[in-house]
Amino acid sequence: MLQGAFHDGQSAQRHDVTVDREADALILRDGAGSLLARWPLTEVRRVDRPDGTRPGRLSLGRDDAARLLLEQAAYETVAAWCPTLTKRDISWNSHGRPFLLWTGAAVLSVTLLFAFIIPWMARVIALSLPSPWEAELGKASEDLLVRVVARIEHKSPEQMICAEGPGLEILQRLLRQMVAQPVLGLTQPPTLAVLDTDLVNALALPGGRMVLLRGLIDEAKHPNELLGVLAHEMGHLAKRHPTEMAVQTVGTSVLLSLLIGDATGGTGLTLMGESLINGAYSRDKERAADAVAVETLAAAGWDPRPFALFFDRLAKQQGGLEEHLSWISSHPLSEDRAAAIRAAQGPSGIAMTDLEWARVRTICKGQNSAN
């Protein structure tokens, strides 16, 4: 019989529990032996692993708020019982809502206005937008993104930002080193914010801003993989793609609000929030940003091939879904992107020492203990 801690997701109370297996389910009981929860083994999902400083966390599916906390030995035992612990569930929150939203947008885009005029105007405006205006747009976009992610994580916006420390200083130094490479096309490094969330992504925003989500750091297997993703996003910044996308989203949302009579602007906020998180650029823009990332890593003396690990994992997580939906997806297939990156020639350098990589991987640890 194993020991653990249980949060039911309904209150802040922590329950010390015993964990046992009965047939095809985990049985959680309190100290008095009362049944608190029965979790089918096939529905147990990993939130994160134990890392020596904090226990591993498990949930029932991806959307359930309850959490089971287990130390290393107990976690390994339970992990062996659960055959689909790391399965990526296709749920309404993670796939259904974005798919429905973008399907509706695709239907509307068949009209001349949405398919041609707005994108063309967005590009023109993005290239001519005064720097102070673009900076304000970037600050507003980052604030909105933090609020959206905070709602997902059930935290306040203030709790989402990982405080400055050695890990952030290392990343900022490496960003400056990449900006020094002429191939990137930037004159100054972006303003970087790290958010404490399990979501796996990095996002470029207008006005030279970039947001890195902790989940990407946790999932990265090599420092050059993480730097490749950041260089990719900086490639978007150099071409002002985030500003173009933000202007296009605002224009689309205004017209949609007029069409459906949304006087409160909820449609615009929803579209902007979704576009910020998804970062849905065209295939040509994604391939161009991949190429810039590879060239930037190589110019800095780093091996660009570990960057392909990100797309290997993405392809594995999506399974056949990505290929089946490739005809409506804005992104190139992950397998194709990984193959193109591996085919690139470059040096064999590693962007960080083992100590630097360890500090970057714990960039939000102080935030977690403070919260």
Supply the DSSP symbol for 161: B
| pTM of the complete model | 0.61
Tell me what percent of the residues of the chain surpass a pLDDT of 90: 53
Residue 240 has pLDDT above 70, yes or no: yes
Summary mean pLDDT of the chain:
83
Of 228 and 321, the structure prediction assigns the larger pLDDT to 228
pLDDT at 168: 94
pLDDT at 256: 53
Which stretch of 22-26, 46-50, 105-109, 155-159 has the lowest confidence by average pLDDT? 105-109
Supply the DSSP symbol for 345: -
State mean pLDDT over 138-149.
89
Dist. CA 89–CA 273, nearest whole Å: 22
Which stretch of 105-119, 190-204, 234-248, 281-295 has the lowest confidence by average pLDDT? 105-119
pLDDT at 107: 55
pLDDT at 369: 46
pLDDT at 244: 84
Which stretch of 58-72, 97-111, 133-147 has the lowest confidence by average pLDDT? 97-111
pLDDT at 189: 92
pLDDT at 370: 47
Judged by DSSP in three states, 64 sits in coil
State mean pLDDT over 235-260.
73
pLDDT at 362: 93
pLDDT at 242: 86
pLDDT at 93: 56
pLDDT at 265: 47
CB atoms under 10 Å from CB of 22, counted, come to: 8
Residue 236 has pLDDT above 70, yes or no: yes
State mean pLDDT over 172-188.
94
Residues in contact with 174: Cβ distance below 8 Å, sequence separation at least 6, in sequence order: 227, 230, 351, 352
Dist. CA 175–CA 168, nearest whole Å: 10
- Pair 293, 304: CB distance under 8 Å: yes
Task: Give bridge partners of residue 40 from the DSSP assignment.
Answer: 25
Backbone φ and ψ of 328, nearest 5°: -110, -5
> Residues 296-353: pLDDT tens digits?
999 999 999 999 999 998 888 876 544 544 433 455 788 889 999 999 888 999 999 9
pLDDT at 70: 96
Tell me what percent of the residues of the chain surpass a pLDDT of 70: 76
Residue 111 has pLDDT above 70, yes or no: no
State mean pLDDT over 262-285.
58
Residue among 47, 56, 54, 61 at smallest CA distance from 75: 56
Residue 368 has pLDDT above 80, yes or no: no
pLDDT at 46: 93
Dist. CA 122–CA 117, nearest whole Å: 9
pLDDT at 163: 78
Confidence of residue 95 (pLDDT cuts 50, 70, 90): low
- Pair 34, 42: CB distance under 8 Å: no
